[in-house]
Amino acid sequence: MAKSYDLIVLGSGPGGYVAAIRASQLGLKTAIVERENLGGICLNWGCIPTKALLRSAEVFHNMKHAADYGLAAENISADIDAVVKRSRGVASQLNKGVTGLMKKNKIDVIMGDGKIVEKGKVAVKTDKGEEELTAKNIIIATGARARDLPFAKADGKRIWTYRHAMTPPEMPKKLLVIGSGAIGIEFASFYNDMGADVTVVEMMDRVVPVEDEEISKFLEKSLKKQGMTIMTGAGVKSIDAGAKGVKAEIEDSKGKVQKLEFSHVIVAVGIQPNVETVGLDELGIEPDERFHIKTDSMCRTNVEGIYAIGDVTGGPWLAHKASHEGVIAVEAIAGGHPHAMDINNIPGCTYCHPQIASVGLTEAKAKEAGHDVKVGNFPFIGNGKAIALGETEGFIKTVFDAKTGELLGAHMIGAEVTELIQGYTVGKTLETTEAELMNTVFPHPTLSEMMHESVLDAYERVLHM
């Protein structure tokens, strides 16, 4: 006999498990179906364990520069196996935390492959057979996976996706990273700090191409200074993986093809949604041109009673977007009137060295949208806390509408900017103007003072530059 629920959630990543919790809070009897690990890719193989790896690399980097702080550290070395073990331990701890949250909120967890066989009905293949679940509402939160290159299929030995890169069989000596989005640049940064010789190939004309152009240029200069080889406007023509290494043909921006050898390759060229086995075709659920599920402002698909959230839908593909969409979808299901998602108010963070964070429109996008803009910049070198920390690399940029004073966007590169960006995100959500930001008192000495100075600079009132 089928088990009956008010809501079934397919997938327990940051979108799915948050949706399930909110549903429980609103009194909905809820089941969550997961085929692998509670917490999804983010907690187990994405956001969290990669930050644990990057933290180890950051500490290792600081230890190697101990003399800059009047300290002595000799015979510094890194144990990649121990670093990975710590990262997996962090992931395991959070997985257990999500398990506890499911129990606390009385959410039924069914481990297995779920498929929507008809409206309101889900069949789950478990290790004990098949279970049938019914619910008036279903949320698809099945996420996405790394996209392969046809000529560079990941084998886990020489050619890696992000999952292989998190549990490497060995430390790469000479690493090729294909793609300079957040995932590619974070792994390039990690392995470079750990001692690998890193080359990054990006087909666009600049690294982290979704970011503001000034941020991209600054990051490329920094990465090269750290010893990386950066090839933009370039493409990998072929990959030949052997037992001892990888041979790659790379066409540079001038059309010249180079034959280079590497020990390992990380392919980081985007994602593809996990939609093949969910039952979309049978139900007539509409995908977009990239096969992600189309949804409206309340996360509804074109089929009544079926919602979709997170990486299985359109971008930006970020864990915090998925979580917020989960809340929106559930509150709509429960009869509430949640605010629709405004993607211009979703911050993006990249945890390379130096860090990058942004929210809203870049300067170029603001101009394309017809805005007459005012732009402010403030460098880390002008901030007392940054100097005291020994972190003087970076800057903060703000973009305003010249007529209304509306904050259109903010873009940062430097130490801890992934923590600072939320100040601007709150401001954008509250539809702030330059006046409120100028009249906000920022604590001293902090890195956040640079946020204030950047706003002042946009209006020719900067104090410390």
Q: Which two tokens stand for residue 68?
A: 């800059």
* Amino acid code (one letter) for 446: T
- Half-sphere CA count of 401, side-chain side, radius 13 A: 16
> What is the distance in angstroms between the CA of the first residue and the CA of the last residue of the chain?
72
Count CB neighbours of 153 within 10 A: 12
Query: CA 49 to CA 202: how far, in whole Å?
Result: 25
CA–CA separation, 62 and 60 (whole Å): 5
Phi, psi of 196, deg, nearest 5: -80, 155
The tokens of 274 are what? Answer: 């996990």
Residue 381: HSE in the Cβ half-sphere, 13 Å Cα cutoff: 2
Q: Which among 153, 117, 141, 158 is positioned nearest to 31, based on CA atoms?
A: 141
**Sign, CA torsion 166/15/416/358:** positive
Residue positions annotated with a catalytic role: 444
d(CA 297, CA 294): 10
Distance CA 331, CA 327 (A): 6
CB atoms within 10 A of CB 203: 17
How far apart CA 36 and CA 111 sit, in angstroms, is: 7
